[in-house]
Amino acid sequence: MSPQVLLRSAGAVAAATLLAASAEPLGWWAAAPAGAGVLAVCVHGAGGRLGSLLGFVTGTAWSVLLVPWLAAVGLSAWVVTSVAVGVFVGLTGAAMSLVARWPGWPVWVAVVWVLGEEVWSRVPLGGFPWPRLAWSAVDAPWAGWLALVGVPGTSMVVFLSGSFAAWVATMTVRRLRCPLRRPRARAAGALGTAGVSATLLSAPLLWPPASLGSGWVADAETFTVAVVQGGVPGDGTQLAAHHREVTDRLAEATVGIGRTGGTVRPVADGGVPIAPDLVLWPENSTAVDPGADADVRADLVRASAAVDAPVLVGTIEDGPRTGTAVNLTRVWRDGHDVGRAYVKRHLVPFGEYVPWRDLFRTLGVGRVDEVPRDMLPGGDQGPFGVAGTHVGLLICFDVAHDDAVRAAIDGGAELLAVQTSNATFTGTRQLNQQLVITRARALETGRAVVVAATTGVSAVIAPDGSVVSRSEDSGRAVLVEDVPLVRDKTAAAAAGPLVVPSAAALLSLSALWRRARVARLGRTSRVRRPRASR
């Protein structure tokens, strides 16, 4: 392996380290554009094969550092997911190395990157949207881009700022090779890096989006939500073994809300008891079908009868076919099951279903026996009406997928509610990483988001992405807060869905134009070629 390949590969590892550092638990948001810039430098001037290798190294190392919590599911899950991400980032790296030859290459590598993000967020098996640059922007000065252009657009902006810096760096190095131009090169490099990248990233500070202003919620109606976190006995990871006690804890906490009326803050500190408009339980509040289990149904009847508000219960029900199940939310009110509200759209492979079950059973690999039946996904679902408002429901990983969030907002959701069960990952960085993703969705949509988790992190998030309140540990917690109901749409709601198709169209048109131009220049050179003298 040549020294150049080794040097570029080391740069790819450095890029991955920076990208991982931009996420929780470190949350160094400045590391995201820096990592993008390092990767851009690495692929610039590399061929397609080397570009794919550099992308694979970056993607694999990034995923290894980002999601070690997958080892709680199984070491194979961590390894396979990291390699799969590496493959897709490798394909992206190959494409980036090709467009890095074009004029204006910092723009084109950013376009390719956002298209790559879209691919690995969708495929295979529903995709894995955890590695995205936009999540790092939540606490950054450029967080306003989320409200302007959404998650895909923010990823492009972050990468573009890094690739611009990379372009200036490469130009500076080239000019430094000429001694007569060193002073000018240094000045150009400093001004270019500071000017282009800083202006790009700080644009939302200069022109802040309306959804981050005080007027966004000034006239909004308020809605009181009680978020209930029951906790899991022991170390918090064995939900299945204690599922009846989990349901019982949630019921007891809800009955307590009914007795006290719920408080925004302790009465001793001046809080005034208030009755919630909605009570939110986590995903997997019941691990068995309430219709087939009298004890669980009794808990739900008792809890929903104790509060004068609908209770959204995450439950598992038997599917329409033998060997299937459904992960869904049901509405309980006044001791009665009012009906189904939402079915989880994005399921976790080998956690909630086993793809190609017969093949994996034959090969003797995978978690076939640990997942005895397959969950069935829900289709396109808009918000549902409850307590006089439209609530957009998302279950666990749905919050990381663009299509589920867009369906809720396009359907008129005034509030987003996330139910999640992260008991398997108790004590890992996954909990805070998912909270950051949820905060990004609040910024993107301009909606308040309430999160109910089995063992944390439960939270109430304002439309500007700030955390109003959150559970402090994995034990029992009840959060009662007033949240605004917002009907207006952010710019991102309109622009966000257009980013990826526009990027794909722009890249395709540019490639076609370049191909036609090369062909035209080839014909011209043949016409002008002088005849050989005899």
Q: Strand, coil or helix: what is 124?
A: coil
Catalytic residue among 283, 317, 414, 481: 283
Residue with tokens 């690999």: 365
pLDDT at residue 474 greater than cutoff 90: no
pLDDT at residue number 122? 93
Q: Write the single-letter amino acid at 190.
A: A
Q: Strand, coil or helix: what is 450?
A: strand
CA atoms within 13 A on the CB side of 422: 29
> Is 396 one of the catalytic residues?
yes
Give the whole-angstrom CA distance, residue 56 versus residue 95: 12
pLDDT at residue 186 greater than cutoff 80: no
For 97, residues 6+ apart whose C-beta sits below 8 A from its C-beta are 43, 44, 46, 47, 48, 50, 51, 52, 54
> Is 489 one of the catalytic residues?
no
Range picked from 209-213, 362-366, 379-383, 414-418 for highest mean pLDDT? 414-418
DSSP result, 164-218: HHHHHHHHHHHHHTSGGGHHHHHHHHHHHIIIIIHHHHHHHHHS--GGGSGGGTT
pLDDT at residue 206 greater than cutoff 80: no
Catalytic residue among 42, 118, 352, 396: 396
pLDDT, tens digit (0-9, with 9 covering 90-100), for 149-178:
999 999 999 999 999 888 887 777 776 666
Give the whole-angstrom CA distance, residue 47 versus residue 496: 32
pLDDT at residue 181 greater than cutoff 60: no
CA atoms within 13 A on the CB side of 256: 17
pLDDT at residue number 166? 85
Which letter does DSSP use for residue 282 in this model? Answer: -
pLDDT at residue number 494? 86
The encoded tokens of residue 19 equal 């990208």
Decide: 421 and 453 in contact? Cβ < 8 Å.
yes
Place 448 in a pLDDT band, splitting at 50, 70 and 90: very high
DSSP result, 230-243: ---STTS--TGGGH
Mean pLDDT of 261-283: 69
Which carries the bigger pLDDT value, residue 363 or residue 30? 30
Place 268 in a pLDDT band, splitting at 50, 70 and 90: very low
Catalytic residue among 24, 42, 118, 344: 344
Least confident range of 186-190, 245-249, 306-310: 186-190
Whole-number CA gyration radius for the chain: 26
Give the whole-angstrom CA distance, residue 495 versus residue 3: 44
> Is 344 one of the catalytic residues?
yes
